[in-house]
Amino acid sequence: AARPRTALRAAEESVAEKEAPAPTAEETAAAAAAKSRRDEAAAEKARILADEDFWKYDLNPDDGWKPADEVGVCAPLGFFDPLGLSKDIDKETFRKYRASELKHGRICML
């Protein structure tokens, strides 16, 4: 009789030697459809970039950032900024303010 450790190794090797099954027709069709969608999206982006007026398109996702979309905004009150400190700041400054607020315990006043 083989020792358990040797039997376990033999079982692992037999599993590793087995080949993966060939993809089904549905899997092949789904992969082709996904590739087609990726290709269409890439072509659309290339058309936008190749357009003479490409500067009119907003390709930067960070430009749409709003402090009111951050975590901590709750239903009846909404975004609480009575002094308007977050009107014209970027994301990093906002996060610095929030960390400072938590550090100094101002969150308890809400």
Confidence at residue 51, expressed as pLDDT on a 0 to 100 scale:
64
Closest CA to 70 of 85, 88, 91: 91
Question: Residue 97 — pLDDT band, cuts 50, 70, 90?
Answer: confident
Cβ neighbour number for residue 12 with a 10 Å cutoff = 10
Higher pLDDT, 1 or 49: 49
Helix (H) or strand (E) holding 95: helix 91-103
* DSSP per residue, 11-66: HHHHHHHSPPPPPPHHHHHHHHHHHHHHHHHHHHHHHHHHSTTGGGS---GGGG--
Closest CA to 85 of 97, 100, 72, 102: 97
Write out pLDDT tens, residues 11-26. 777 766 667 678 899 9
Annotate 60-86 with b (16+ C-beta within 10 A) or e (fewer).
eeeeeeebeeeeeeeeeeeeeeeeeeb
Phi, psi dihedrals of residue 32, rounded to the nearest 5°: -65, -40
Above 80 in pLDDT, residue 89? yes
The pTM (predicted TM-score) of the whole model is: 0.36
Rounded average pLDDT over 62-78: 73
What's the mean pLDDT when you consider all of the chain?
A: 76
